[in-house]
Structure 1
Amino acid sequence: MTAPAARATGQAGSAPVDPRVLCDAHALAGDPPVPAGVLWKLQEAGRQLDANLVRVAPGGHIAPHAEPDLDVLLFVVSGGGVLGAGPQDEPRRLTEGATVWLPHGATRSITAGEAGLTYLTVHRRRPGLQIRPRGETP
């Protein structure tokens, strides 16, 4: 049994938050595929994580880039493709069910295969932008 104080809560002072199913990634990926884009995103208030279900169209490509601040977990829901990893964009095969850690600062690219690629990303939520007086730092 869990003590009331140990239950998860939303933002300070808000009522306890219970676990719940947010989406069915397989069902969303299996719907008539959109050419590309975000199929779903986590938008719950008070969350500490961000998550996105993304579809890359067949043959589509996300150019090499690096996320300087956040580690990202990528899970392939459907389809397949190639992860380009590191400064040489070394190809690594992506297949349904693959779970990939993308460490912050690491260069990566993604190319979808013939069936396209649908994947879920999860990472720590970025703090919102805040206006501060000149010279004040976070």
Structure 2
Amino acid sequence: MLGAGHGRDALHFAREGFTVHATDLSATGLEQLRDAARAQGVDQQVTIATHDVRDPILLPDMSLDAVFAHMLLCMALSTKEIHALVGEVRRVLRPGGHFVYTVRHTGDAHYGAGTAHGDDIYEHGGFAVHFFRC
């Protein structure tokens, strides 16, 4: 799981019986995830690692059945960085694996609001969002 944050989605998948390798840039969020996994009795199904998605994924080729990323691709990543990340996801997925992700798009009501940074990235309230073209 890319961009696991404090673990809401990771914990859901673990409770459903999946083995979860959760990564995030925030060590604090991952500590919260680890504590919650222990409290919910799913700590054996969850591993965590601090990771910047602009760097290569530190897993072997074809080592995962699925990768999940909720709104991570909407972060202030350039299109080039997103392409590199998707290439890394492709590398670590086994044949027939799935990449499940959610994104904001140019049809979203907030598209165009705030300060434009180019590459369909807009900053509003101190938070930059990359919007995808429909």
Give the TM-score, by structure 1 length: 0.25
**The structure with more helix, counted as a fraction of residues:** 2
